[in-house]
């Protein structure tokens, strides 16, 4: 089937669905200039192993390395702006076409684009917390301390080590994941956008729903199960699908 017909089929599935949730990954933000992990040639994986530098193992055993390498990656995502794909999802939510977005991303771009119901299942880069007393701090404070070479940054209240509220490899999943799971179980359609679907347990979600649309530049392990697989850029695919839904 050519792309035009795939867009048409996707638009029809979305229009006839009672409840549609969207699952996004790093691929939706590459058009905002944030590299993903696994795109050939440009993904962060080309230069490093993110499962190492962004892991609890490194945070706890070599905090200096975590703050000099992994933390920089997190910090670099914070100045990006949403792209057309983020804005279309926000419009779709406003129009009642989708029920919400589950994102593996930590770049805040869905919220910046106006999406209201966003489940951040891998945490966020807005806040941090103290590993000893649990005190919440802003991500900016972590950045200020690191810029002043306070590495690792320490809690002003108790002196414990501060960490970003991002789910690192080795961390348990947050409560947002339980809520996301429930949303998917209640849905009849899931649209996956820009995820390689290799990171567990988020990649269990496509297996829990009847209807599945995958929009991803490269193959995923769930393509066999999907009603529609679109191998195009997220913004181009969503623009076409959204125009068909509105027409």
**Contact positions toward ligand NAD, by CB under 6 A?**
25-27, 29-31, 34, 36-39, 43, 77, 104-107, 122, 194-196, 198-199, 216-218, 233-234
Q: Is 226 assigned a ligand-binding role in the annotation?
A: no
CB-based closest residue to ligand NAD: 27
Instruction: Pick the closer one to ligand NAD by CB: 31 or 93.
Output: 31
Q: Is 235 annotated as a binding residue?
A: no
Residue 215, annotated ligand binder?
A: no
DSSP string, 48-76: S-HHHHTBHHHHHH-HHHIIIIIHHHHHH
Separation CA 131–CA 31 (nearest Å): 34
204 annotated as belonging to a binding site for a ligand: no
CB nearer to ligand NAD: give 112 or 132.
112
Distance of alpha carbon 116 from alpha carbon 133, whole angstroms: 31
Q: How far is the CB of 159 from ligand NAD (least distance, A)?
A: 31
Closest CA to 164 of 42, 70, 237: 70
Q: What is the dihedral of CA 26, 75, 113, 123, to 10 degrees?
A: 70
Query: Is 122 annotated in the active site?
Result: yes
| CA–CA distances in Å: residue 3 to residues 8, 97, 163 | 9, 21, 44
Catalytic positions, please? 122
Positions at the binding site: 26, 30, 37-38, 104, 106-107, 122, 130, 133, 155, 158, 195-196, 216-217, 234
Positions at the binding site for nicotinamide: 37, 106-107
């Amino acid at each position: 089937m050519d792309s035009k017909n795939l867009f048409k089929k996707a638009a029809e599935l979305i229009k006839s669905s009672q409840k549609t949730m969207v699952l996004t990954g790093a691929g939706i933000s590459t058009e905002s200039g944030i590299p993903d992990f696994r795109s050939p040639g440009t993904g962060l994986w080309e230069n490093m192993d993110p499962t190492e530098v962004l892991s609890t193992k490194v945070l706890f055993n070599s905090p200096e390395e975590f703050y000099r390498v992994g933390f920089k990656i997190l910090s670099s995502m914070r100045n990006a702006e949403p792209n057309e794909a983020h804005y279309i999802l926000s419009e779709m939510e406003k129009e009642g076409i989708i029920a919400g977005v589950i994102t593996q991303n930590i770049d805040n771009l869905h919220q910046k684009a106006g999406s209201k119901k966003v489940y951040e299942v891998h945490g966020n880069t807005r806040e941090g917390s103290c590993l000893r007393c649990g005190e919440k701090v802003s991500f900016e404070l972590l950045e200020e301390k690191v810029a002043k070479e306070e590495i690792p940054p320490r809690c002003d209240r108790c002196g414990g080590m501060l960490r970003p509220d991002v789910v690192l490899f080795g961390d348990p999943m947050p409560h947002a994941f339980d809520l996301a799971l429930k949303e998917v179980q209640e849905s009849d359609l899931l649209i996956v956008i820009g995820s390689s679907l290799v990171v567990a347990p988020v990649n269990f979600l496509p297996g829990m729903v009847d209807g599945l649309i995958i929009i991803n530049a490269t193959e995923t392990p769930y393509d066999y199960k999907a009603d529609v697989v679109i191998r195009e850029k997220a913004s181009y695919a969503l623009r076409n699908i959204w125009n068909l839904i509105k027409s």
